[in-house]
Amino acid sequence: MTYHERLLGTAGRLERKDNNGGGDRVDPGVLNAETKKAIDGFMRTIEEFKSKNDEHLKEIGKKKVDDVVLREHVDRINGSIDTLKEGIEKDMLEVKRQLALSKAANDKPEEAPEVKEYSAKWQEHMRKGSDFISKRELREYEEKAAKAMNLDMKALSAGSDTDGGYTVLPNFDQTLRIVQVLVSPVRSVAQVQTIGNYSTKFAADMNNASAGWVGETDPRTATNTPQLADIEIIANEMYAFPFTTQQMLDDSYINVESWLAEKVAIAFAQKEGNAFVVGDGVKKPRGFLTYPTVVESSWAWGKIGYVPTGAAGDFTTQTATAGTGGDVFFDIIANLKYPYRQNARWTANRRTVARMRKIKTQYADYLWVPGLQNGQADTFAGYPLTEMEDMPDLAANSLSVAFGDWKQAYLIADRVGVRVLRDPFTVKGYVGFYTTKRVGGGVQNFEAFKVLKSSVS
């Protein structure tokens, strides 16, 4: 029995996995009429895509020649799927954001008077500057609020300094984290840990203990001793510098804290999302694709195991896909140990996903299944698929697809403390909010994920 047959199970039916526990589902009742209409149009476009792609594959099978006109038609429909999907996801992201922020607000315990007072003074300082609320006064209110919340001022003010920087209380940080998780695909699937030091160090179990069978009187020889690997993830500094006009701050009734948190969260999510995938680890997190790679049969701790696709710059040829299916995807699933497969998911950018949509099994079933109709993630070969724009495009020897349990594979370390510096001087008439936070990232379990390498071997 092949990998393909074992993993498909009976009658070639793919097992659908819901790894989100319902957390990412969106109740259709909260979507507006335009979004629902867009989803219906999206599903019709998918059916048209499948029909034309089937016709294209049949032509290849009969004539053994790729019909260029028909292929271009399929590619145009495939491109429209991306466009429609992007619009729908944007609408659904806004719904999720509003629901998450609303839930956070409802779940928030009653604030102490000192905390409310500090929040009000913080807002006034952000609007009007130190002429109205001095840094010393703000610091005094901050200390009272921290005491009321039983917080360690040393940890809370980790980012404070004498040049006008100061930290904000957890409400700001909570809003920032919620929006970051919704925007950053890596942060939404990886393990996130808050630390209070320069770095986090831990010992990773390399799973290399062994055992053996013996008779009653047989000699007992030594077995392999479990070994631990030291891993350190350093929190590097990241910044954002949004501007608004002084008049808007003076005249508007906007909540400066929420506005700033959302703007900064989006900027941080875009910057860190790239680093989590391809960052070189120099003054930034180290991306999970930047570690040494080795063919899966020679895998060792500290390296990324890969499965070759069998074709340079592609998964397989269109002709081969029509006849054999995308067996390489089932090969990588089989190479990931069972404990990690339970919560595993695919990652690829949208251009790679567009190619993956065309791939079928030997039973003529498409491996890609859209998940928008029930608020779930798209699935591929029965496992959730997360689009990460920073994943490489398909090219010779590229690592364009990864598969694994990202909660166990990758750790994001957030340094406690967010610092804000109000800057009314750089651009006259405008006020900038120089915001910094420290974050690190790196692989914590090299066994928990694998990658596909677009190569012959």
Return the domain boundaries, the chain.
Answer: 166-207+225-349+388-457
The answer, yes or no, to whether residue 413 has pLDDT greater than 90, is yes
Q: What is the CATH code of the structural domain delimited by 166-207+225-349+388-457?
A: 3.90.1690
Amino acid 44: pLDDT: 73
Residue 72, token pair as written in the block: 């271009």
Q: Strand, helix or coil at 433?
A: strand
The more confidently predicted of residues 179 and 73 is 179
- At 266-289, the pLDDT tens digits run 889 889 999 999 999 999 999 999
The answer, yes or no, to whether residue 369 has pLDDT greater than 80, is yes
- At 327-356, the pLDDT tens digits run 889 899 999 999 999 999 999 998 999 888
Measured distance CA(78)–CA(359) in Å, rounded: 13
- Please provide the DSSP assignment of 149-178 as one string: TT--HHHHTTT--TTS-EE--HHHHHHHHH
Amino acid 400: pLDDT: 95
Q: What is the pTM of this model?
A: 0.72
Read off the pLDDT of each residue in 206-219 and give the average, rounded to a whole number.
Answer: 71
The more confidently predicted of residues 393 and 457 is 393
- At 128-178, the pLDDT tens digits run 777 677 777 777 777 777 677 665 444 444 444 434 445 666 567 777 877
Amino acid 266: pLDDT: 86
Binned at pLDDT 50, 70 and 90, residue 21 comes out as very low
Measured distance CA(82)–CA(433) in Å, rounded: 35
Query: Parallel, antiparallel, or unpaired for β 368-369 and 345-348?
Result: unpaired
- At 276-323, the pLDDT tens digits run 999 999 999 999 999 999 999 999 999 999 999 888 888 875 454 444
- At 31-55, the pLDDT tens digits run 566 666 666 666 677 777 777 676 6
